[in-house]
Amino acid sequence: MSGEKLATALAGVDWNGNVAQFTKDSGVTSAVASANMRIALWSKQFETVDHGNPALSFVREMQTAGHHVAVLTALAMYKPAATAMRNMVEAALFYTFFRSHSVELCTLTRDTAYFLTKQDVIEYHKRHTPNFLSYQDKLGLISRLQTWYSAISGIIHGQVPGAWVDHASVKQIKHVAKTQSLAVTNFVDAEDIVYRLFLCTVEPSQWDNFNFEAKKLLLKGLAGDVKALLKLN
């Protein structure tokens, strides 16, 4: 495709119309906005209590990825949105590990052969994070994470050909209600996984220094027995 043809194809997509159609459904926009708002709550609190920690780069990556999901879904770019969702979850996972592993973080930035997997982080928390196993048992974190991650990775890697792609050419990019619904549902699920991850791994010293109003919002809707088990007031 020549540059001129690409420009024509891109100009032929009604990007503004896609955004207008997406935002017309208040239920959809509210779901995406609410998920990103809770991500923002965590981000702000971690930025405050962990000020100066280089691992905060993962928190910023997490929040930016959530923004990208909103933008890409509004533009009907569903498959790229799936990649951003997984990026958000992975960034959250890496933060929970690297915030207390500065040496390993330095290695990560200078040694391309060193990498950490999702399972590495989970195994670390199983062994070293106090009460993680009992907390995750109550919140169902690991099963939710594994099921969601496997499904979204299958979409990203094309294991299900054509999944979340409803156009054959650039100029045909437009909303498809069924796929849009899948994208929004998976993003809400991704945020819920991040929420449960942080509830299972936040340290008392962090939580104690969270803003009071932020605590109230983060605990809103959480069952009393869960609050009691997590010892979060």
Question: Is 6 a domain residue?
Answer: no
Question: Is 5 a domain residue?
Answer: no
Query: What is the model's pLDDT at position 16?
Result: 97
Q: pTM for the complete prediction?
A: 0.96
State the total domains in the chain: 1
CA 26 to chain centre: 21
Q: Comparing 213 with 227, which gets the higher pLDDT? A: 213
Question: Is 10 a domain residue?
Answer: no
Q: Which residues contact 54 (CB under 8 A, 6 or more apart)?
A: 98, 102, 105
CA angle, 101 then 192 then 66, to 5°: 75
What region does 14 belong to: left with phi over 0, alpha with psi -120 to 50, or beta? beta
Question: Is 2 a domain residue?
Answer: no
Question: Is 160 a domain residue?
Answer: yes
Question: Is 41 a domain residue?
Answer: yes
Q: Is the predicted pLDDT of residue 32 greater than 60, yes or no? A: yes
Using CA atoms, how far apart are residues 30 and 45, in angstroms rounded to an integer? 22
pLDDT tens readout for residues 40-95: 999 999 999 999 999 999 999 999 999 999 999 999 999 999 999 999 999 999 99
**Segment 125-136 mean pLDDT:** 96
Query: What is the model's pLDDT at position 26?
Result: 94
Using CA atoms, how far apart are residues 183 and 157, in angstroms rounded to an integer? 16
Question: Is 144 a domain residue?
Answer: yes
CA angle, 193 then 196 then 182, to 5°: 25
Question: Is 211 a domain residue?
Answer: yes
**Segment 4-16 mean pLDDT:** 93
pLDDT tens readout for residues 139-157: 999 999 999 999 999 999 9
Q: Is the predicted pLDDT of residue 1 greater than 70, yes or no? A: no
pLDDT tens readout for residues 167-212: 989 989 999 999 999 999 999 999 999 999 999 999 999 999 999 9
Whole-number average pLDDT of the chain: 95
Q: How far is CA 111 from CA 53, 107, 114, in A?
A: 20, 6, 6
Query: What is the model's pLDDT at position 115?
Result: 87
Domain that holds residue 40: 15-230
Burial class of residue 84 in the structure, from the number of CB atoms within 10 Å of its CB (0-12 exposed, 13-18 middle, 19+ buried): buried
